[in-house]
Structure 1
Amino acid sequence: MWSGFKAGCRPFVGLDGCFLKGPYRGQLLSAVGRDPNDSYYPIAFAVVDVESKVTWQWFINELMAIIGPPYQLTFISDRQKGSVDVLDRLCENTDHRFCVRHMYENFRKKFLCLRLKTEFLNASNGFTLEVFKNHMTNIKKMNNDAFEWLNRIPHHLWSKCGFIVDSKCNLNSNNMCEFWNRQILEAMSKPLIYMFEMIRRCLLKRCNNKREYMEDQHGLLRPKVQDEVDKLRLKSRKCRVQPAGPQLYEVDSNGENDAVDMANIKCSYRVWEVTGIPCIHATAVINSRRGNIEDYVSHYYHMETHLNIYAHIVKSLCLRKILNIERYLQILPPLREKPKMGRPIKQRIKSAEELRDIKAKKVGFGKWNFQVRCGKCKMEGHNVGSCKNDAALPKPPRGKGGRPSLKRTGMFVGESSSGG
């Protein structure tokens, strides 16, 4: 698997650890990459007794030894115990990102507000520094404590405006590790040897299916990127291109101007640099020059690169020979912990927001948009009992009690309002 990663995968690695579900407790540390078709690509995995700095240091050292020092890797993690400190100490030349979804779970524990969530996600998905600063300014106006909490974390760790361009990946969430953990969920409840054998068979089947599928495809780019390029080609027809110099162009799209440098393969929108795929502005320039858009896509997305990755075959093994105890020393199982009461947990414990989204989908209302609003200061995220804002809005005049009178003052019964 790591040979296939070195054959053409983008230098982007996700780190994650999950608990084993069997009777012998432990944790499975995994390193997962991303193939040219934006699917997860397992690189390495190992079982440790507990997730700590010592185990992460051993795992990352072994990972860097098999990948090799020439690679400028970009790691993304859920801010696990010890992984952040180990990466900062051992991998000085590598880039590190934080998963935005796990970061927001910590953010919402202190600042529960739907508008803050929207601004936070917009700030994390902004490719330019101007967009990031605008959303951070909005957060500061809404809640200064939330702004200070986010400002303590460097923006290049969680916002796309600070991502380096070498990885050619704009992913800011660690979902590929979650997909990998879900794929091997059944294997994690087995004993260790059978668990590794089930994972090996899963990788063998998956790599063979990927290889056979790509051999039937035609063209320069993989199917998903080709569809994206075709959509950009249609959208770029509405853009107006104006040459500004040698290899320099100004593109007008929806009333906004962006500069495109074809010599250095740059755009002021930064999507082309970060992802390796021409954005709508670069696509408009390429069309005006009668060029081929596929030639300007990074080689990480080419069909040949995808075939080189899955050309490395996972070899078949005979489990009966491996378990022959006459040739090997007898391996005793680890000490079994005292079982807890109740049925053992098989799935990951979901957060409160995930449970709300699942409940909303079952009911049929789409996303869960309910938010508590204070009746005193009219702000979201708290109620009147926990309100701490001094500058509250003035209360409306309170009406008189009882049933309102039906007679008008100053008039007799039957008197017309027109006088007389």
Structure 2
Amino acid sequence: MNECRNALVTYCIKVERTFKVDKSDQVKVNPFKHTCQESTLRKDTISRAKSRWVAEEVKKWVKENQQVGPKELQKNIKDKFKIDLPYMRLFNGRFKGQLVAACAVDAHSFVFPVAYGVLETESEESWTWFLHNLRRAIAHPNGLVIHTDACKGLEVAVDNVFPGVEHRECMRHLAANFMKKFKGKVYTDNLWLASLTCSVKKHNYHLRQLYMNPKVKEYLETHHSKLWARSQFSEVSKVDYVHNNLAESFNSTIRKLKGHYVVDLLDRIRIEYMQKFHYRAGIAEAKFMGHIIIPAVMNELKQKTTGLEMNMTLCSGTTAEISYLDKEKREWRYPVDLEARTCSRRQW
């Protein structure tokens, strides 16, 4: 079946046709050439050239030169088929695997890679294997948060290997999918605000605006059941990211290494982060020793508190009520307890 599909893709790319496979596994080819704009044609062509097709097409070049890298293969594909495929499409086709990683955030908001490896493919079985090894390394500590991208099989694997964990999903992916289905000012004005606010009251306010369309509630509960709003996050973990940019940061760090063979790649990533940890340890020893709160965090707190117009009503030496008016002149009030380290706004 794969050989047939790859051959069909090659044919359609060469003659600029499209095809689809219906539920009965019958192939239907559009007999007419594209008359759409060049950008649309290019997008359709690239989407058809998936990693499995790339793997088949580059096989001959890899056999002839086992040292050939993704960049050269990218050029060969462009010369032969007149299409410019993304680098990662060539990387995945070249090595027939997926580089995956579990990353955390340290006290300085630096990326802290916990585990990484190569999967045969993104599937529930492969992710389960990776997560079982991750659990062997970190166990299942109280307050553990796992934040995932929209990867095939990953959500199910997380729930199976880490039952009961606080499972968040990437707001950037959620918003992209949401905006394809629901368009209008009420959605653009309220969706991201519902995610970013730490206040349960404000979150519910924005949800009410979204839920004026009953289909929105049904869609979010059906397709995005993981946590995506800060007001729903537990207060044990102090990382309040609603996106999964840690993965992008990790990819950016190792991008220059991705042309290597798998074994060399994994070893070079290890060396890269050994050097980073040594460098960071030097910074900590030189600048952070003796500080209860590191200088970078203090600077961020000062920036966030500069120019705040809030009223404080003291209840005791450690408790108070904070109130302020938002841009729409609505008053918000938040009880704060310094000793218990609680605030009803939840942005502690």
Give the TM-score of the pair, scaled to structure 2.
0.66
Deviations 1:318-370 (A, max 9, x none): xxxxxxxxxxxxxxxxxxxxxxxxxxxxxxxxxxxxxxxxxxxxxxxxxxxxx
Deviations 1:129-182 (A, max 9, x none): 2211211222233x4433431244677611111101111111111001111012
Deviation (angstroms), 1:111: 2.0
Deviations 1:212-235 (A, max 9, x none): 222221433223211022235544
The structure-2 alpha-carbon separation of the partners of 1:195 and 1:232, relative to structure 1 and needing over 3 Å to count, comes to closer
Structure 1 letter corresponding to 2:151: Q
How is 1:96-107 mapped onto 2 (pairs within 5 angstroms)? 96-107=167-178
Q: Residue 21 of structure 1 contacts residue 189 of structure 1 at CA under 8 Å; is this kept in 2? A: no
Alignment partners' CA distance in 2, 1:58 and 1:36: 29
Task: Specify the alignment match of 1:26 in structure 2.
Answer: 97
**SS class of match (1:80):** coil
Higher share in helix: 2
Alignment partners' CA distance in 1, 2:106 and 2:241: 13
Alignment partners' CA distance in 1, 2:265 and 2:275: 16
How is 1:1-400 mapped onto 2 (pairs within 5 angstroms)? 20-21=91-92, 23-113=94-184, 115-141=186-212, 143-152=213-222, 157-218=227-288, 219-232=291-304, 234-235=306-307, 238-244=309-315, 247-254=318-325, 255-272=331-348
Alignment partners' CA distance in 1, 2:255 and 2:220: 34
- 192-201 vs 74-83, which moves further: 192-201
Structure 2 letter corresponding to 1:103: L
Alignment partners' CA distance in 1, 2:221 and 2:125: 30
Give the TM-score of the pair, scaled to structure 1.
0.56
After the TM superposition, list the runs of 4 or more consecutive aligned residues in structure 1 that deviate by more than 6 angstroms.
Answer: none
Alignment partners' CA distance in 2, 1:195 and 1:40: 19
Structure 2 letter corresponding to 1:163: F
Alignment partners' CA distance in 2, 1:53 and 1:60: 10
Q: Percent identity?
A: 24
Deviation (angstroms), 1:56: 0.7
Alignment partners' CA distance in 1, 2:282 and 2:93: 34
Alignment partners' CA distance in 1, 2:90 and 2:127: 15
Q: Residue 187 of structure 1 contacts residue 199 of structure 1 at CA under 8 Å; is this kept in 2? A: yes
Uncovered stretches (5+) of structure 1, i.e. residues with no partner: 1-16, 273-420
The structure-2 alpha-carbon separation of the partners of 1:18 and 1:211, relative to structure 1 and needing over 3 Å to count, comes to farther
The structure-2 alpha-carbon separation of the partners of 1:250 and 1:186, relative to structure 1 and needing over 3 Å to count, comes to same
Alignment partners' CA distance in 1, 2:99 and 2:316: 55
Matched residue pairs, number? 254
Alignment partners' CA distance in 2, 1:19 and 1:184: 16
Deviations 1:52-106 (A, max 9, x none): 1111111111101111244541000013211111222221231100000011121
Structure 2 letter corresponding to 1:269: R
Alignment partners' CA distance in 2, 1:204 and 1:64: 22
**SS class of match (2:95):** coil
The structure-2 alpha-carbon separation of the partners of 1:232 and 1:140, relative to structure 1 and needing over 3 Å to count, comes to closer
Structure 1 letter corresponding to 2:99: L
Task: Specify the alignment match of 2:12 in structure 1.
Answer: none
Alpha-carbon RMSD across the aligned residues, in angstroms, is 2.5
Q: Residue 119 of structure 1 contacts residue 139 of structure 1 at CA under 8 Å; is this kept in 2? A: yes
Larger radius of gyration: 1
Structure with bigger RCO (C-alpha 8 Å, 6+ apart): 1
The structure-2 alpha-carbon separation of the partners of 1:136 and 1:151, relative to structure 1 and needing over 3 Å to count, comes to farther
Q: Residue 160 of structure 1 contacts residue 170 of structure 1 at CA under 8 Å; is this kept in 2? A: yes
Q: Residue 76 of structure 1 contacts residue 174 of structure 1 at CA under 8 Å; is this kept in 2? A: yes
Uncovered stretches (5+) of structure 2, i.e. residues with no partner: 1-87, 326-330
